Structure 1
Amino acid sequence: MQQHTPLYLALAALATGAPIAVAQDEPRPAAGQIEEVSVYAQRREQTVADVPISITAYSGDLLERANIIELDALSDITPGLVIQEQSPNNPGFVIRGITSDSGSSQAAPRVSVYYNGVDVSRSRGSYFELFDIERVEVVKGPQATLFGTAASVGAVSVYTARPQEELAGSLTVNAGNYSSRLARGFVTGGSDLVQARLAFQHRERDGFIDNIAGSPASQNPDGFRQSDLQGIERTALRSSLRLTPTDDLTIDFVYTWEENDDTGTSFKNGLYAPTGGDSSPFSFVEMAGSPFSEAALGKADLGIEREVEDYNLRMEWQPTERLTVTSLSAWREFESLEVFDADGTQAWFLEFGEDAEGEQFNQELRAVYSGDRFTTIVGANYFDEEGSQRVPFSTEESIFLNCVGALPVDAACIEPDGRVNLLTPVLTSGLLDVLPYSSEFANYGKNEILSAFADVTWAASDALELTAGLRYIDESRESGFSAIAPNSALLGFLGLNQPLLPVVDTGGAIVRADGSFDDWLPRFNALWRVSDSTNVYATVSKGRRSDVIDVTATRDSAGNAVADVTEVPAEIVWNYEVGAKGASNDRRLSYSVSLFYQDYSDFQVTLQDDAGNFFTANAGSATNLGVEADVRALLGSSLELFANAAWIDAEIDDDASNGTLAGNRFRLQPEWTASTGLFLDQPLNGALNLTGSLVYSWRSEVFFEPENAPIAGLPIEEDAYGLLSARIGIASAGQGWELSVFASNLLDEEYLVDAGNTGGSFGNPTFVAGPPLFWGVQLDYDFGAY
């Protein structure tokens, strides 16, 4: 291990406190310097300082060895980025205040998540384990010209490690509290013609929120015994093959398979306490689910069953020293079933499932020509996806109607002692003891996008570069909706013939609508090299979130179910940004700062209707002003410092024409974020090094819903909080092993990662607790030419 660990790797290590190591295939910085990271955000290799946009980069191959295995850990240390992982089925990506987390198949993503150069932004398929990674790039601001329409506000781009000719491998194991266990590793090798790489990761951990449902302490001790919540069991495997049949042709094929089998998400009800407990989201729960869960929702217990497969073929041909032609083909499919207790209580009240499926195909062909003064990129892309999101529902009719306040009776939903009022016998005069009810609704989406793009950079002088780019997109979108929603038997007793949820029954038939759209997406950049160590830049770019064809069902004059179509216009953003990047003191200190202003029209927000169905609405105009800054420094020969901060004033314009959301802050975006850390790599003798890290990250208040308002008198927000992480370890100076002890959330801070949720639409807001103190011991061993 080097005496001066590159800071970007130290940043990666802070979230878990894992050991830090340097791969041999990365160029090492000169002694006493901070390393410059190579990135491909402009479809060619450049240093971060030479890219005239705001970008934060981490060496992904090193992130894997540093035990960064989830993307949300990066957001603690990346200015302008927030990643919320409620579950692998429901991740939220936020760049500069704009959230992309809608599970609807009818809506388009905003933040582009790229995996090996291919857009995988569809929410239920965008989560993946970070293991055996080459690099991660976080690009902020609209990047539609080179990344595509999904990157309307930025992109998180991940590249996996490629095979190498020399035999090498790695194995990591760790164990910690909550019975956590992890094993990961890789092996690679080959010849000058063929190289292969096989990598894997498996990790599991017990839930950190106790669930007493089905235990002797619950209301139903003989009921189904649910697992503790927020537990994980995740397995991933990746095989990579590289062929180099000629000196100018490289072919890479990557296959990735992942499976998640996590326990349920802890949606803790804020109004009603579990038996013998309280309504704090950090204490135990009594989430019993539905007694008909397997038949009605598809799975007997609360939790997630998710599988993802990804096939990626990249061919790069370099017929001349100046010209590179790249073909990128990819296929990705996912299936994800999540069963969740949306009311977060012992009541058989709001028991939902979400069965999401998706298939995506991508084909891109591009050419990059690097001349003496001009660098030109031209290409075309075809993207096709088809998906569905089916939402089954199960409840007991009298419990549901009583808990939403729709019955003319004076009975609490849940009594202070934890008893759930079952009123069916009373309301049916003893004819029925219980009235199970189930229904489902589903949305469907099929999107086909054809685009062509060109980007030209002109070196006007040795100090000045000017870039202009343009992408034309032509898209066809089709949306569908179906529902099976029988009338409520109990409401029938009361003289009403309608379903429990306000959904029009289509009898399972799909009603559809479609449309075609096109647009031009430009960008303009200027980079001025003020000196050998300082660059300043300015950029203007346009971003676009696609039009949404929102389809539900209504009834025509004859009583037939027909499509009820709302077309939400495309969200358009113009981004104006200036910034500076530089280094001093012989690269012992580096810094960057950016100032941006974003102007939105037809700003799209995700809302939830009375049936719990998420939909997209037009909130009008919005503006976003912000500053981001970071600094990195070497302090002596063994100590390294980083600090960053971001201020983002993101809100819907306070204009009466913007309706009830006017003046509200964007959801999930704190106004202030900051983090700082120290990292140690101190030689003890010729054979051993002492390594360590201490990192603190802080966020100001955040709202979890666009309304910025309480539900049932409970605030749907999180106050400011900070998290502290630490690590200390002993590493060999040349034998390839390291033993360390690590802790995240060292002070056991209590904080929320989400609030409101589906229960909030029914007047029962729920709250999801963030992870508590995690600690563990880890051993890393590397061999070969790594």
Structure 2
Amino acid sequence: MTTYKKTSALPFPINKVLNSVVAALCALSAPVAFAQQDTSDELERIEVTAQKRVQSINDVPASISAFEGSRLDELGLNELDMISDLTPGLVIQEQSPNNPGFVIRGITSDSGSAQASPRVSVYYNGVDVSRSRGSYFELFDIERVEVVKGPQATLFGTAASVGAISVITRKPEPGFSAELSAGAGNESQKRLGGFINGGSELVSGRLAFSYRERDGFIENIAPGQDDMNGIDRQALRGSLRFQPSDAVTADLIYSYEKNEDTGTSFKNGIFAPTGGDTSPYSFVEMTGSPYSASVLGREKLGLDRTVDDINLTVDWTISPRLSFTSVSGYRSFDSLEVFDADGTQAWFLEFGEDAEGDQFSQEFRFNYAGDNLLMLWGINYFTEDGSQRVPFSTEESIFLNCAGALPSGLPCINADGSVNQLTPVLTGGALQEIPYAGEFTNFGDNESWSAFVDFTYQLNDKTEVAAGIRYVSEDRESGFAATMPNSQLLPLLGLPTQTLLPTVSTDGEVFTASNSSDAWLPRFNILYKLNDNNNWFATISKGRRSEVVDVSSTLDADGEAAGDFGLIPAEVIWNYETGLKGNLTENRVRYSASVFYQDYSDFQVTLQDDSGNFYTANAGSATNFGVETEINANLGAGIELFGHLAYLDAKIDDDSTNGSLAGNRFRLQPEWTSSLGVIYEAALSSQYALRGSVVGTYRSEVFFEPENAPVAGLDISQDSVSLVNASLGLYNDSADWSLALKATNLFDKEYLVDAGNTGGSFGNPTFISGPPRLFYLEFTKKFGM
């Protein structure tokens, strides 16, 4: 069996992280770590809005991690997936902005199908943007990121069946301020970002922007193609705040994002590029299709994605006890990604994905604050429509030979790297090639409305109890269409006439099916104050991932195309959790620790059929047990320590009724995750200071497919990985400028971010490399601050 794994000899994850951090500290900043400087002993207090009101993070009876925007800037965290390195229970996998995977407590939400619902709510300024192809965005000019774990349907809606990620951007302020950052690094990195802010107490505005460009770090030797995994991302956000009185605040925010990345390196694990090998970390020869522009929609491999988002939030303080909030949001995305699913020089599995969607939501809610009673209630309306069109291009003899359907005795690719194109031989020279093109599309049109109410009652000075419930009513309509011609080559060989991909062509006709459902989703919490600084909490909550109206195509009794309809039942989760959180030693140490157990029924898994089409299946029951801990500590002398340790045992129940996946671990679910970081500062003079950080992260083995099994003899998993990120900068606070060097994957570790993929469905598993060491030098200048 061939395997691509990186292993470590140390037995316990914290030791691995600690050793990496110590090594980096010694290499980069040993003198700085022990420099003396007078600093405040207290940690910065963190306030969050996870319960739709401003609270200290310690007073929220749930497991929640939060990051202030200043901390994100310090650590160079400008991508969503980097947040997961520091958050227990969270893994974010980014193959590309078009294909992110969000994993909370081992449960993955990454389906691009318009027919399926997300499991993890991604909120952007209070608006649900969870549809996977539209959920990725750049992190810049951020006020705060909150990650809430466990079902949050009462507060965040049905998409938060396992948790929610809420990103809040910085709002306009009265007066002038501005910031400009420019940077450059290896792999031809270019960075530019900043903001300009101005206005009065009545009206203020803010314009923020981000631009990042980087060459691909996997060389592609195919003529006319770019190196793989390169990025080209631009983002712009305009914010307007209107405050006609102390009682009313209106925030209007428009965001635009454009991604033109060079595409994901799907490295074939069986066939090597010309003159190369099958290592995921070496060069590729991904040629794509010679008909890519006309069939797939784009001449080169890569991504062209545009996202537009506008939201309006109005807060009205009706009285000292009662407030009203309206949140309106519209988001659209249009994303075309062309990819070489076989990852070779063969014109074999060349696909595109043309995904587009529109979402609109409107929420009205009231907050009441009495002497002993806090109450939240409101209504929400949400509608979305989207489609995912998948065009396909191949050459018939190459496809049939590489798929093992021809008794030619010739390999797909020869040892010298040449591809066996057999059409001239099989047709006696009558044809040199037989291009094949087809496509299939899934559609989703979903509408829901819900009503919710949530109470928190102060029983006494130490104890508060909370209960909430959301009623949701959904109407879901799914559609499917395929244009898949019959093979021209198969009849010439005396074989039955059929399509190359096992998809029944509908000749453009769209088959549809619909379903209506409703549900009640409660939560119950208790918070007990052990003393002024430490709390104990317990919670029971219910989550639900909506039914999937599964529509595809089949042949009826007369051999004609017909709709193939199925209803995958709603996935239901009950979460039971208890924990401690608080501050120690006069707020120099902040900690949280929780234990949870989750019980799933009708657990939904995403599988891929023989056509490369993703679909949802019912894997039966599943259970999930875990422990999560976090700590921040001010050690004095300008040193702050932070980290986490989390354990997770999550799997599909080993029961014969759960089918072939019984006993398997969830996809992308590590058993252990941990991190350990240091932020440090040393004064060099009255004007200059040296500041830096070192962060080590650890993740134990993960499986990339729910089958937990090799494909074509290749291991589809990644062993444990330890990575280190670091920064070191010179700061002049009086002149408001800084010059900082920031690095990720400091020790240049090789690791995988995914394996199997679409190629695995055709017996050609592919492997995606994680980024190598990347570093950049960035200059930042502030104005009027």
TM-score (norm 2): 0.94
For 1:298 and 1:453, the matched residues in 2 are separated by 44
Identify the residue that residue 197 of structure 2 maps to in structure 1.
188
Aligned-pair identity (%): 60
1:346 aligns with 2:345: yes
1:555 aligns with 2:591: no
Identify the residue that residue 200 of structure 1 maps to in structure 2.
209
Counterpart of 1:160 (choices 138, 146, 169) is 169
Identify the residue that residue 67 of structure 2 maps to in structure 1.
58
Identify the residue that residue 688 of structure 1 maps to in structure 2.
688
Identify the residue that residue 327 of structure 2 maps to in structure 1.
328
For 1:456 and 1:204, the matched residues in 2 are separated by 48
1:73 alignment partner, SS class: helix
For 1:558 and 1:707, the matched residues in 2 are separated by 35
Q: Aligned letter for 1:394?
A: S
Q: Aligned letter for 1:41?
A: A
Identify the residue that residue 3 of structure 1 maps to in structure 2.
none
Identify the residue that residue 24 of structure 1 maps to in structure 2.
none
Cα drift, residue 166 of structure 1: 1.4
Cα drift, residue 64 of structure 1: 4.6
Contact kept in structure 2, 1:18 and 1:727, CA below 8 Å: no
Identify the residue that residue 183 of structure 2 maps to in structure 1.
174
Identify the residue that residue 220 of structure 1 maps to in structure 2.
none
Question: Structure 1: any 5+ residue segments left out of the alignment?
Answer: 1-10, 20-28, 215-224
Contact kept in structure 2, 1:578 and 1:596, CA below 8 Å: yes
Contact kept in structure 2, 1:18 and 1:742, CA below 8 Å: no
Identify the residue that residue 84 of structure 1 maps to in structure 2.
93
Counterpart of 1:73 (choices 78, 82, 85) is 82
Q: Aligned letter for 1:761?
A: S
- Which 10-residue stretch deviates more, 688-697 or 436-445? 688-697
Contact kept in structure 1, 2:307 and 2:333, CA below 8 Å: yes
Cα drift, residue 559 of structure 1: 3.3
For 2:735 and 2:523, the matched residues in 1 are separated by 49
Identify the residue that residue 392 of structure 2 maps to in structure 1.
393
Cα drift, residue 30 of structure 1: 9.2
TM-score (norm 1): 0.94
Identify the residue that residue 468 of structure 1 maps to in structure 2.
467
Contact kept in structure 1, 2:314 and 2:326, CA below 8 Å: yes
For 1:187 and 1:615, the matched residues in 2 are separated by 45
Q: Aligned letter for 2:739?
A: L
For 1:105 and 1:438, the matched residues in 2 are separated by 22
1:181 alignment partner, SS class: strand
- Which 10-residue stretch deviates more, 493-502 or 751-760? 493-502
For 1:565-714, what aligned pairs fall within 5 Å after superposition? Answer: 565-714=565-714
For 1:620 and 1:781, the matched residues in 2 are separated by 55
Identify the residue that residue 151 of structure 1 maps to in structure 2.
160
Identify the residue that residue 729 of structure 1 maps to in structure 2.
729
For 2:433 and 2:188, the matched residues in 1 are separated by 40
Identify the residue that residue 301 of structure 1 maps to in structure 2.
300
For 1:750-765, what aligned pairs fall within 5 Å after superposition? Answer: 750-765=750-765
- Which 10-residue stretch deviates more, 29-38 or 48-57? 29-38
Identify the residue that residue 45 of structure 1 maps to in structure 2.
54
Identify the residue that residue 525 of structure 1 maps to in structure 2.
525
For 1:64 and 1:590, the matched residues in 2 are separated by 21
For 1:450 and 1:473, the matched residues in 2 are separated by 6
Contact kept in structure 2, 1:170 and 1:783, CA below 8 Å: yes
2:362 alignment partner, SS class: strand
**How many residues were matched structurally?**
752
- Deviation digits for residues 368-413 of structure 1, max 9, x if unmatched? 0010000000000000000000000000000000011011211100
- Deviation digits for residues 99-135 of structure 1, max 9, x if unmatched? 0000000000001100011110000000001111111
Residues 603 and 381 (structure 1 numbering): CA distance in 2 closer, same or farther, change over 3 Å? same
For 1:30 and 1:357, the matched residues in 2 are separated by 51
Q: Aligned letter for 2:307?
A: V
Contact kept in structure 1, 2:691 and 2:728, CA below 8 Å: yes
For 1:721 and 1:281, the matched residues in 2 are separated by 16
- Deviation digits for residues 270-307 of structure 1, max 9, x if unmatched? 00000000000000000000000000100000000000
Q: Aligned letter for 2:177?
A: A
For 2:211 and 2:777, the matched residues in 1 are separated by 16
Contact kept in structure 1, 2:75 and 2:693, CA below 8 Å: no
Identify the residue that residue 136 of structure 1 maps to in structure 2.
145
Cα drift, residue 62 of structure 1: 5.0
- Which 10-residue stretch deviates more, 679-688 or 370-379? 679-688
Identify the residue that residue 6 of structure 1 maps to in structure 2.
none
For 1:732 and 1:278, the matched residues in 2 are separated by 49
Contact kept in structure 2, 1:589 and 1:633, CA below 8 Å: yes
1:531 alignment partner, SS class: coil
For 1:529 and 1:390, the matched residues in 2 are separated by 53
For 1:361 and 1:62, the matched residues in 2 are separated by 32
For 2:734 and 2:668, the matched residues in 1 are separated by 44
Cα drift, residue 566 of structure 1: 1.2
For 2:478 and 2:591, the matched residues in 1 are separated by 46
Contact kept in structure 2, 1:448 and 1:476, CA below 8 Å: yes
Identify the residue that residue 245 of structure 2 maps to in structure 1.
246
Q: Aligned letter for 1:765?
A: P
- Deviation digits for residues 742-783 of structure 1, max 9, x if unmatched? 211111000000000000000000000000000111111112
For 2:205 and 2:143, the matched residues in 1 are separated by 15
- Deviation digits for residues 460-484 of structure 1, max 9, x if unmatched? 0111010000000000000000000
Identify the residue that residue 104 of structure 1 maps to in structure 2.
113
Contact kept in structure 1, 2:474 and 2:517, CA below 8 Å: yes
Q: Which of structure 1's runs of 4+ aligned residues deviate more than 3 A? A: 64-67
For 1:209-608, what aligned pairs fall within 5 Å after superposition? Answer: 209-214=218-223, 225-494=224-493, 495-608=495-608
2:530 alignment partner, SS class: strand
Q: Aligned letter for 2:326?
A: S
RMSD over aligned CA atoms reads: 1.5
- Which 10-residue stretch deviates more, 58-67 or 134-143? 58-67
For 2:178 and 2:154, the matched residues in 1 are separated by 38
For 1:40 and 1:247, the matched residues in 2 are separated by 20
Cα drift, residue 313 of structure 1: 0.6
For 2:438 and 2:154, the matched residues in 1 are separated by 43
Identify the residue that residue 8 of structure 1 maps to in structure 2.
none
For 2:652 and 2:746, the matched residues in 1 are separated by 36
For 2:126 and 2:103, the matched residues in 1 are separated by 20
Q: Aligned letter for 2:127?
A: V
Cα drift, residue 636 of structure 1: 2.0
- Which 10-residue stretch deviates more, 733-742 or 47-56? 733-742
Q: Aligned letter for 2:537?
A: Y
For 1:648 and 1:491, the matched residues in 2 are separated by 50
Cα drift, residue 31 of structure 1: 2.0
Counterpart of 1:32 (choices 41, 44, 49) is 41
For 2:455 and 2:492, the matched residues in 1 are separated by 71
Contact kept in structure 2, 1:18 and 1:740, CA below 8 Å: no
Identify the residue that residue 749 of structure 1 maps to in structure 2.
749
Contact kept in structure 2, 1:282 and 1:769, CA below 8 Å: yes
2:173 alignment partner, SS class: coil
- Deviation digits for residues 659-710 of structure 1, max 9, x if unmatched? 0000000000100001101111111221111111111101100000000000
Q: Aligned letter for 1:674?
A: S
